[in-house]
Structure 1
Amino acid sequence: MPKPSRVLSRDAEWATLAQFVQHPDPHLRLGVVSGRRRIGKSFLLRALAEAADGLYVSAVAEESVVAARRRLAAEIARYAGIGPELIADASWESLLQTAIELTARRRRGGTPGVFIIDELPYWMAHSPELPGLLQLLYDQSQAGQGVTGGRVIVCGSAMSVMNELLSGTKALRGRAAIDLRLHPFDLATTARHWGIEDPAAALRVHAILGGAPGYRNLSNVSPPQTSEEVDAWVPTTVLDPRQALFSGSAAEYLLREDPKFTGSALHYAIINAVANGATSPAKIGGLLEQPRSSMARPIDALVAAGYLRYESDPLWERRPVITVADPIIRFHNLITVPQRDLVETGQSAEAWQRSRPTFVVRILGPHFESCARAWLRGQADPALRGNAALVTGTVVNDRKGQAKHEIDVIALDKRSGRATISLIGEAKATVTQRSMGDLDRLDRLKEVLTEHGHGTASAVLALFSMEGFQPDLVGTARRRGDVLLVDLPALLDIGDPVVVPR
């Protein structure tokens, strides 16, 4: 079942879905797909339904139970080629069973069809019995009764609901063959999706919006093709309250789509605190004037739903740092909120001009580091990672210099307290070319890690640059053979690293 050409990237996800549909199991099989809104779930699942000659139906928010059943009945009737009045008043159980049986009999190239319910949490709001009914049909099929065969995928954007579908004693626990969570596009794929050929412009758009493909259709302005065009694009899109792409609207909508967080001032306040630099429950509680102990559960809920993330430092096993997961929420809190008066009075260009230093230091810089780590994990030659099980960032204490140094990119494998390090890297969003001084600093960091007892004998030293490298650094890197120089085109997969270690 080849992936349609209109589906950009998503090769691994498509392979997982195709394998699920084509599995030879003669019994009913269930799958779960989740991911935040605008991540491309519906687009992918519609393509799957088309490729497998299946039935795709999407639930509608705030639709009554009667209207929902009748609309499902109409979709089933259209798929079967019968009049909708024949099943218009059928029960949920009868409708589900009919849809599964019809898609199971519809085969293309020996592959059964698939029945897909998108945005299931909307229906569960008024019909919480739906997962239980799917469990009943699944168990009957496993026992050789009722539905024989069939493939069902349920999908949703409300992550708190989707995460609980397979947890604890929930009906579908132990019955779903796949639990697929869609993630945003990486930097290179986002640039292709938006049609941005300039690496600097692509990096800035990705730092603002992230890799959610659905944002492209919300923009009324052509994608920027240079850094200068980004400066004109931002005030007319994410900083314009009249536009759907306005950061305030997007950030609010992301939270309100999940019933667990709707109307919760505490959850909003926690995200605001993290976006403004609070990285631990204690710091968050301090900003909100709440005890640290009361922060654990709401923070964990926001992490599970994908709004916050824990970034651990496995080298030193410190407490994990809490960060905002979604770039548009980060942009809203760091750029839009502080300039709200200018933005709301039609002075978005002035607001952006004032915010550019904050954007470079607190958004573009950390995002460039994140993109460098993502490139090493997923796009670089695996030989660069060696046997490393983890690519992350860390902090190391220089006992001789009595200083603390951040390492932006490190690839390591840690066992019994000692790490074998494959790569030590630095990624700074500077407007100047990287120089010999940057390489000297990496040499010192390698020495410090060795002094701490970690294995660095075969470690590659990597410099990631937005503006390229000075000629003497390139020449030295080529002579040494243990240095990797990666520029912005290489991160976007439109060029090779400037120097690759021998």
Structure 2
Amino acid sequence: MNTAHGRRAAYVAAPEHVKPDRLFDRDDEWAALGAFADDPTPAPRLGMVRGRPRQGKSLLLEAMARSTGGLYFCGQQATEAETLRRLRAEYERHAGAQPDGPAWQDWGQALDALFALGDDRPYLVVVDSFPALVRSSPTLPAALRAALHRLEVAPRTNRVRLVLSGETGPVMGRLFTVGSHLHALAGLRLEVRPLDYRRAARLWGLDDPELALLVHAVVGGTPAYRYDYVSEDAPRDLDDFDDWICRTVLSPRTPLFAEARHLVDEEVAQATPGICHSVLTALATGRTTQGEVATFLGQQLADVSRALTLLRDHGVLRSEPDGLRPAVTRHRITDQLLAFEHAVARPRRTELEQTDAASVWRAARDDFTAYVVEPQFGDVCRQWAARFAGPALLGADGPVTAVYGSPADPGEPDRPTGAPDATAAEVVVRSAGDTVGPPLALGLARWGTPMDAGHLERLRALAARSAEPARAAAGDVRLLLFGTRGFSDDLHAAADRGEVVLVDPPRLYAP
């Protein structure tokens, strides 16, 4: 369902738009974009597409423009005059115009010419890397509003379908903000997100669930890493995983080695990369609250807050309330490669550039497990609970959310900051929109540790402290145990009695 100028209509993508094979997955995004491009409504329409780098936005948009015979233009860092010359050349190629007309003097003239392409039929015009254009032409959003207004007061025959696209950041964030003028006009608001852990396994061609979890902990669900950054090199099996790490993400000879640093230095924090890297290091090593980060870095809370806001605006991290203490806000790195970089590679970058990766990797293996694999396994377990388990299994009537939760009385006063909290629940499930009510379900997640009755008793005690006493006593709080090294006979018996749900890697990936 799309909205434009107060009217609603349902559209179906034209069947002739065949998604190219090189565009992995993205069926929903392709259908939504095709429906927008083919919308026959006799009025101009505006669409917005955003996402983190390397997710395939440009490939998606360029392929759709080619499929519809539309115009695709990618902005870059340049002066306004150079940009308008490049855009004019692309326009002339599409419109079949002779290159002897007067040069466009401003964005108003350019937009009027582009919009005129839709006078006869639905015409897709894609302006990619829109934030780069705004940096050199700050008045561009105002010129765009003015051009749309001129079409609004004209007879409603124009059917241009203009898509503005860019990486997640302040410029696209303002466009996506409810209440902004362009947001109100947008009939398509599409976010191209990383693939979830199940789709990422298919992307890398991995059938072994444990291997898929390990690879996901390093590179997540970013399609470009599979195809463009490691020359399609995927680990053959679990025995090949360590060698794969050494020949890809820890090898200075591969683009993946420098990608995480590039994402921060050039894509996120061009002016202040130092503190952003330090904040990411703190987060990657278990300091998840603003106070913990500030203490670790020896920085003022205000400086840390600014860095966290910048990283969050660029989609590098997310902030969410603690599942058992809603007043506590926890920050998590959303890009697995950035977490791997700051927990494992960055502290050892000099060694990696001077010695063989295998010896460095052997020394880093424990940090990898503690700071990368175990937190990412917990995140996958939360995704499974929120998206794949099904509400009925969790005692819910509808959609749910799942977050990390730590009790107010952790019982570990001597636990070092950043060390895993054995009393916390990696999975706290509530109905969507509820952040303070009693949890519907609680779960523990353990990587590499066989689970036994002691884990279930710990979970029951946590439920007794976290839920209403009557609900906890009645067993209304569903209990979940996630593990990769098996469950004891006592736990299997408890699962048969309906007292606990046991989830191993194959179940995480099961249909």
Check if 1:441 corresponds to 2:451. Answer: no
Question: Hey, what does 1:78 align to over in structure 2?
Answer: 93
Question: Hey, what does 1:159 align to over in structure 2?
Answer: 169
C-alpha offsets along residues 307-329 of structure 1, whole Å, 9 cap, x if unaligned?
22213124432320123222111
Question: Hey, what does 2:9 align to over in structure 1?
Answer: none
Kept in 2: contact 1:121–1:156 (CA 8 A)? yes
Q: Give 1:280-291 correspondences, 5 Å limit.
A: 280-291=289-300
Kept in 1: contact 2:479–2:500 (CA 8 A)? yes
Residue type of the alignment partner of 1:296 = S
SS in 2 for 1:183: coil
Distance 2:160 2:439 in 1: 48
Q: CA deviation at 1:301?
A: 2.3
Q: Give 1:347-386 correspondences, 5 Å limit.
A: 347-385=356-394, 386=396
Distance 2:353 2:410 in 1: 50
C-alpha offsets along residues 134-170 of structure 1, whole Å, 9 cap, x if unaligned?
1112112222269823211111125122213355997
2:235 to 215, 224, 231: 224
Q: CA deviation at 1:336?
A: 1.1
Kept in 2: contact 1:418–1:454 (CA 8 A)? no
1:485 to 502, 505, 510: 502
1:13 to 29, 46, 51: 29
Residue type of the alignment partner of 1:256 = D
Question: Hey, what does 1:500 align to over in structure 2?
Answer: none
Q: Which moved more, 1:66-75 or 1:421-430?
A: 66-75
Check if 1:39 corresponds to 2:72. Answer: no
Q: Which moved more, 1:157-166 or 1:223-232?
A: 157-166
Kept in 1: contact 2:42–2:159 (CA 8 A)? yes
Check if 1:463 corresponds to 2:481. Answer: yes
Q: CA deviation at 1:491?
A: 1.9
2:244 to 233, 248, 252: 233
Distance 1:466 1:136, change over 3 A: same
Q: CA deviation at 1:97?
A: 2.5
Question: Hey, what does 1:113 align to over in structure 2?
Answer: 123
**Aligned sequence identity (%):** 30
Residue type of the alignment partner of 1:44 = L
SS in 1 for 2:439: strand
Kept in 1: contact 2:178–2:184 (CA 8 A)? no
SS in 2 for 1:253: helix
Question: Hey, what does 2:4 align to over in structure 1?
Answer: none
SS in 2 for 1:430: coil
Q: Which moved more, 1:338-347 or 1:257-266?
A: 257-266
Question: Hey, what does 2:403 align to over in structure 1?
Answer: 392
Q: CA deviation at 1:276?
A: 3.5
Structure 2, unmatched stretches of 5+, are 1-12, 414-420
Distance 1:319 1:147, change over 3 A: farther
Q: CA deviation at 1:233?
A: 0.8
Q: CA deviation at 1:229?
A: 1.0
SS in 1 for 2:423: strand
Q: Give 1:4-403 correspondences, 5 Å limit.
A: 4=19, 6=21, 7-23=23-39, 25-60=41-76, 62-86=77-101, 91-103=106-118, 105-106=120-121, 112-144=122-154, 148-157=158-167, 159-165=169-175, 172-216=182-226, 217-220=228-231, 222-246=233-257, 249-258=258-267, 261-385=270-394, 386-387=396-397, 389-396=400-407
Distance 1:413 1:259 in 2: 33
TM-score by length of 1: 0.86
Distance 2:409 2:296 in 1: 31
Distance 1:298 1:168, change over 3 A: farther
Please tell me the root mean square deviation across aligned C-alpha atoms, in Å.
3.2
SS in 2 for 1:317: coil
Distance 1:392 1:28 in 2: 41
Residue type of the alignment partner of 2:117 = L
Residue type of the alignment partner of 1:198 = D
Distance 1:287 1:457, change over 3 A: closer
Q: Which moved more, 1:32-41 or 1:164-173?
A: 164-173
Residue type of the alignment partner of 1:131 = P
Check if 1:430 corresponds to 2:439. Answer: no
Check if 1:474 corresponds to 2:492. Answer: yes
SS in 2 for 1:222: coil
Report how many residues are paired.
Answer: 484
Q: CA deviation at 1:88?
A: 5.9
Distance 2:314 2:231 in 1: 30
Q: CA deviation at 1:475?
A: 4.4
Q: CA deviation at 1:33?
A: 1.2
Residue type of the alignment partner of 1:186 = D
Kept in 2: contact 1:414–1:420 (CA 8 A)? no
Distance 2:188 2:96 in 1: 30
SS in 2 for 1:467: coil
Distance 1:22 1:227, change over 3 A: same
Distance 1:121 1:225 in 2: 40
C-alpha offsets along residues 86-106 of structure 1, whole Å, 9 cap, x if unaligned?
576565333322323324534
C-alpha offsets along residues 284-313 of structure 1, whole Å, 9 cap, x if unaligned?
333443322343333222212212221312
Distance 1:397 1:404 in 2: 13
TM-score by length of 2: 0.84
